Structure 1
Amino acid sequence: MSSSRIVAVFGATGHQGSSVVQRLLKDGTFAPRAITRDPQSEAAVKIKGLGVEVVKADTADKTSVVNALRGAEAVFVVTLSGFPPYSPEKPSEVTVGKAIINAAKEAGVKFIVFSSVPGLTKLSRGKYSKVSIYDDKAEIEEYLKASGIANASLHLGGFAENLWTRNNLKKTDTGFNISVPIYTPTALNAFTWVGHDVGEAVLALFKSYLDPSNFFVSGKAYPVVTANMSYTDLAAMIAKALGKDVTFTTAPPTGIPAYDEMFAAGAEYDGFYTSTPVPNPDLTALGAKFATLEEFVEMEVKKRFGQ
């Protein structure tokens, strides 16, 4: 189904952006436009093969971003975190995020959905002040709220896909083990099935932001959480699905302050989002159809680890 309602997607060749593109294509209300630095990359060519418009833009070049966004009514923005070791040669995440927002405003974009997380310095009242990979996104989020563009932010939990992308689930002599630094066996974590639920949330917001009959309020942050549970309970869920022994062990600190404070804060605050019911009722009321972690295990974990 073709549509004249264009929405731009940053990070379309990455995990979050591809989730959004796939969901938009399936729904058909909007025509996704993938924004990428390299339209000739394997991932970009694959997206183009699905009928998606692929446009080149470099976030360090404002003119290219403005041109890439012209004609788009809405934008999904994901910025890459500056995970250690940091690169002084590249623009900071905050610089990139603000540049995209400025370009969107100049291009006449009406609505922005930003992939974010809570700022941990503020949340912890200074206890965890070294997690720039969270605080940078919080700074961009505040800049977006003050931009004058209608907006919403998605607050994501730990990616459920980290089981394989971060090698958190490893094979052992008797089965498998999940190992995460600092987390205790009883501490809760917020898990987000990015490949499914991010696309659902973005589509729901894109389809709702113009409707005055719903409760959408610009500037709101929406937690997108597939499940709040301990890693011990996740291990038991995977063990049941695979029919194998799956354990959880607490890994030692990494020695990198940004990472260690991130894990410590997540463990202390039970993944940050326990005050929001799962699935998020604000988003389900807008039409989002979220999955369960049991479905994630059946569809994704068994496919990769069930051999």
Structure 2
Amino acid sequence: MASRVVSVFGATGTQGAAVIRALLKDGTFVPRAITRNPDAEAAQKLKQSGVEVVKGDSLDKASLVNAIRGSEAVFGVTVPIFPLKAEGEGPNEIVQGKNMVDAAKEAGVKFFIFASMPSINRISGGKYKNVLHYDQKEVVEEYLKSSGLANASLHLGGFLENFWKFGLLKKTPTGFDVAVINFSATDRQAFTWVERDIPAATLALLKNYNDPSKDISGKSYPVVNANMPYAELAALTGKALGKEVTFTTAPPSGMAPMDEMYSAHAEYSGLYTATPVPNPELVALGVKFGTIEEFLETEVKPRFRQ
């Protein structure tokens, strides 16, 4: 039987690397890592774990066709290129995403999963116009839906892993503090345990996409582990660590895309209030979501408890 290859973009990043680990552990599919630089240290580590690593640049469609040829499915991730550029003004996520979709069609891929976000400009009715990295992901998502490829999109909340990847949980003389731009103590956020549940959702979709009764293609699936204020997350973190963990409203960064992103998440309670937590459609496909308490126990305590 031929291998069921899944080409994974962003293979050396948080999402892609986690998906590759899950595919390796599950064994149903064979991961193929797509990266611009196969000689990078992270790519070499993937090779050492037995993963096929192939060069492909999301700004060069021809390279992508060659990279993903022979794949049954694709896990697609686009990344912001700073300074952010609007469509037609230079390289951006729309170019990346459309190249991925077009290459997947040309290479005969059967199913495409896209890590996406909803347009904040659309949600806010034009109030927040500068969050281009969200708006452009939605353009790609709509392009994918109209492509003729079987597809699904995963919508992400605030990364719980930002506690350490972006230093969100900072040490203080008495414990720790969580400081978030433009969030008040009562504003709610949608949180995603990326390294656990993006792979779980991806595997569930891959295993069920060709079952017509599941009605998967063309849908967007928020992957949210909890919807709560950062202040509540800080309190739970303090309980897990046995330390005082405070919440602070951080001042604006001065970068409009970032400041508006945080303001929109705060104003619209994390963006995904229309979908229950955990997402019942993903639960029906067999996804067992992790809890905040499990995240704190397994990920935060080993890193921050002293």
TM-score (norm 1): 0.95
Q: Give the match for residue 145 of structure 2.
A: 145
Check 1:111–1:227 CA distance in 2 against 1; reply closer, same or farther (3 A cut): same
For residues 164-223 of structure 1, give each alpha carbon's deviation from its aligned partner in whole angstroms, at most 9, with x where no partner exists. 12211111010000000110000100111111011001111011100123232x211000
Identity level (%): 60
Task: Answer yes or no: is 1:103 the counterpart of 2:107.
Answer: no
Q: How many residue pairs end up in the alignment?
A: 305
CA–CA separation in structure 2 for the residues paired with 1:225 and 1:279 = 6
Q: Deviations over 1:258-306 (max 9, x none)?
A: 1111111000000011221221110111122221111111111111111
Checking the alignment, whether the CA contact within 8 Å between 2:78 and 2:97 is kept in structure 1 is yes
Partner of residue 182, structure 1: 182
Aligned position for 1:282: 281
1:120-269 pair list within 5 angstroms: 120-216=120-216, 218-269=217-268
* Aligned residue identity for 2:34: I
The 2-side partners of 1:144 and 1:304 are apart by: 39
Aligned-pair CA distance for 1:89: 11
Moved beyond 6 Å, runs of 4+: 85-90
- Counterpart secondary structure, 1:276: coil
Structure 1 equivalent of residue 79 of structure 2 = 80
Q: 1:56 to 1:89 in 2, by over 3 A?
A: farther
- CA distances 1:92-145 after superposition (whole Å, capped 9, x unpaired): 111111111111110011110000111011111111111101101011111111
User: 2:7–2:32: 8 Å Cα contact kept in structure 1?
Assistant: yes
Name the structure 1 match of 2:68.
69
Amino acid paired to 2:248: T
Is the deviation greater in 232-241 or in 54-63?
Answer: 54-63
SS at match of 2:258: helix
Which structure 1 segments of 5+ residues have no match? none
Letter in 2 for 1:195: E
C-alpha RMSD of the superposition: 1.8
Answer yes or no: is the 8 Å Cα contact 1:175–1:246 preserved in 2: yes
Residue 211 and residue 257 in structure 1: after superposition, are their counterparts in 2 closer, same or farther (change >3 A)? same
CA gap of 1:114–1:264, structure 2 versus 1, over 3 A, is: same
Structure 2, gaps ≥5 residues long: none
Question: 1:196 and 1:31, CA in 2 relative to 1: closer, same or farther beyond 3 A?
Answer: same
Partners of 2:69 and 2:127 in 1: CA distance: 42
Secondary structure of 2:288 counterpart: coil
Between the aligned partners of 1:90 and 1:198, the Cα distance in structure 2 is: 30
2:84, 2:133 within 8 Å by CA — same for their partners in 1?
no
